Amino acid sequence: MSPDDLMFQDDETGTMPDRLMTTAAPWPVLVVDDDEQVHAMTRVLLNDFEFESRRFTIVSAFSAAEAQTILAERPDLPVVLLDVVMETQDAGLRLVHHIRRDLGNRHIRIILRTGQPGQAPERDAIVAYDINDYKSKAELTAQKLFTSLVSAVRGWRDLVTIETLNQSLEHRVAERTAQLERQTALAEEQRRFIENLVELMPSPVWYKDSAGRYALCNRAFRELFPNAADGAEWSSQDQGPPSQDFPEQSPPGTTAFSFETSVAGPDGDARELLVVKRPLTAPDGAATGVISIATDITERRRMERELQRLATTDPLSGAHNRRHILELLERLLTGLDVVPEGRQTAGMACLIMLDIDHFKRINDEMGHGAGDLAIRRVVEVIRGQMRATDQIGRIGGEEFAILLPDSSRADGVAIAERLRSGLAALAIEMSDGRSFQLTGSFGLTEVRALGDTVESVLGRADQALYRAKALGRNRVEVM
């Protein structure tokens, strides 16, 4: 028993309490944000989550300077949740430079969080600052935060694993070369041990020498790439492993580096991989090859896409939910092009608000099952009449919003009339043999490039919709 174990002995029995025997060290997460509420909220969000029977613990820094001190003392931190704007507008991004360049820490996974997404565009920030993920604070729910942290911890662990494996291999190779002159048999035994160790690894591992030959690959690699020929170079016709093998293709100034790619598996299905690579060099600095390890993240990516679908889709109708359709409207507003004189020349768009007429009567007379069926059939009919670029979302109840990009006022009216006619001709049959018909009232407005906001566009479309209902329903009105 170690001294640390003795510290936790029961005073009377000398045994370790059961609750401590099963406690694993938590995953430390460095939270860098000048807002105390962000630290408190992050701690609350992660309070009930575990990964591999280990909880998460928060290490708090309220400025980039404080974070630098912590990082100097804690090189073992796997992930940092980092705010962009703190003591300065770019304090978070400068801290990223410090981590990657000054500290040379390529392992820690950096998730950038900001309440002001416009301060650092997602694509530019990730490419320019070697950031692993980028999230706005508004979208980072508990589930998304947990998914991001699990992904980050796995990536950190894979980088540490390949680094450890590389150090072990370099040590073994040097040791074997020295011992080969004295004891050939022992060196051969060590070589076989390394190869067997790599062979048994569940993840694909391969070593490519400086001449471009695949000198070593394990069983998992050969199963993923069945056309492999041990010790031979791949031909251009072979289904080969991910590219970027040579040291000169690695990011400047790095040792290990990683990227994601998609390959066809032996069954023909696409596999998404996280590949971690480490260039190897001889004592004189000459490149000797690259060792690589791949982790199959296909299921993780599928789950992320499904979570994204659930977060943006109305479960009853299958249309976009209210939050997502309004996000699409906001994106459309920011993408409209305007000439200096103020005359719109490109990116014209319209918004249609649709309300099912007498929907309460359908529920009251036919039952709520009929109401649900009506909502689903309305979405089906609308989608059947929409263009590929059009979007429909359920705003609430029986009300829908339809976005028409690249549509003038006249185009929007024509589309709305087509949708109105399609609904009026719809006969909805229920499973018990009953059937009913319905109509819809439509309010249309143009999305203006200058001065419009989401609220103003919705307001005009709602006014047009109210007028359509006041003038007898089953009609299209324009504001």
Active site residues: 398
Inter-residue contact 281 to 337 (CB < 8 Å): no
Angle at CA of residue 204, ends 203 and 206, nearest 5°:
135
Sort residue 110 into left (φ over 0), alpha (ψ -120 to 50) or beta: beta
Tokens 């029961």 correspond to: 10
Phi, psi of 281 (to 5 degrees): -130, 150
Phi, psi of 289 (to 5 degrees): 150, -170
Q: What is the 3-state secondary structure (H, E, C) of 356-423?
A: ECCHHHHHHHHCHHHHHHHHHHHHHHHHHHCCCCCEEEEEECCEEEEEEECCCHHHHHHHHHHHHHHH
Q: What is the rounded distance in angstroms from the CA atom of residue 6 to the CA atom of residue 15? A: 9
> b vs e for 398-420, b when ≥16 Cβ sit within 10 Å of the residue's Cβ?
bbbbbbbbebeeeebbebbeebb
371-377 long-range contacts (CB < 8 A, ≥24 apart) are 371/398, 372/316, 373/428, 373/430, 374/398, 374/428, 374/436, 374/438, 375/316, 375/317, 376/316, 376/317, 376/318, 377/426, 377/428
Closest C-alpha among 46, 75, 76 to residue 58 = 46
The encoded tokens of residue 131 equal 């950031």
232: DSSP letter: S
Inter-residue contact 51 to 27 (CB < 8 Å): yes
Inter-residue contact 374 to 430 (CB < 8 Å): no
Closest C-alpha among 302, 328, 324 to residue 312 = 324
Q: What is the rounded distance in angstroms from the CA atom of residue 30 to the CA atom of residue 38? A: 12
Phi, psi of 168 (to 5 degrees): -65, -45
What is residue 39's three-state secondary structure? helix
Closest C-alpha among 205, 262, 209 to residue 239 = 262
DSSP secondary structure of 184-199: HHHHHHHHHHHHHHHH
Closest C-alpha among 379, 351, 356, 382 to residue 458 = 351
